[in-house]
Amino acid sequence: MGTKEFRMGEVVLVKTLRKKGTITAVLKPGLFEVLVGGFRARVKESDLKAAVQDKELTTNQEQKSQYTRPKLSPSADLSIDLHGLRVAEALAEVEKTIDRAIMEGYERLKIVHGIGQGKVRSGLHSYLKTIAAVKHFELDQHNQGVTWVYF
């Protein structure tokens, strides 16, 4: 798309996040996987910019990073239903959904795992503890088959 050709291992600026990241994979022409602040994101080439080490630009980027996204309305929650999935399958889906939630600016995510024997819930909670972008998570007060994740 642009004149710049991005490569694996290159440090780039993800425009929508206003944060630097490292390209970890070229998924297809024009689509990259970028590691940003401990999470992986799929990013279009049009949303990437070569990271510049110029001190003046770094100062501008730091000022821009103080920008906070407008809060979404409470009805704008993202959710995922894990019923019928095994633990490994559920965690793979949760990983994708967390990446999406962060990229799109959601403040929380509703994960419906059900009650059952608690294997998916237990695996999910162990996994969530390892994600730097997750501020905290909790079981729904009225439904023990739902976990809320906050970013």
What secondary structure does DSSP assign to 133-150, as a single string?
T--EEEE-SS-TTEEEEE
Fold (topology level) of 11-64: SH3 type barrels. (2.30.30)
Q: Where in the chain is the domain with CATH 3.30.1370.110?
A: 74-150
As a whole number of angstroms, the distance between CA 39 and CA 36 comes to 5
User: Does residue 120 have a pLDDT over 60?
Assistant: yes
Name the helix (H) or strand (E) containing 24: strand 19-28
Q: Which of 21-35, 57-71, 119-133 has the highest mean pLDDT?
A: 119-133
- The encoded tokens of residue 7 equal 């490569």
pLDDT on residue 53 = 58
pLDDT on residue 80 = 95
Give me the percent of the chain exceeding a pLDDT of 70: 82
pLDDT on residue 73 = 45
Indicate the CATH number for domain 74-150: 3.30.1370.110
> At 39, is the pLDDT very low, low, confident or very high (cuts 50, 70, 90)?
confident
CA atoms within 13 A on the CB side of 64: 14
As a whole number of angstroms, the distance between CA 45 and CA 13 comes to 11
pLDDT on residue 76 = 62
pLDDT on residue 74 = 43
List the strands of the sheet with 48-50, edge to edge.
Answer: 39-44, 31-36, 19-28, 11-14, 48-50
Judged by DSSP in three states, 33 sits in: strand
As a whole number of angstroms, the distance between CA 112 and CA 90 comes to 10
User: Does residue 61 have a pLDDT over 80?
Assistant: no
Q: Where in the chain is the domain with CATH 2.30.30?
A: 11-64
pLDDT on residue 38 = 73
pTM of the shown model: 0.53
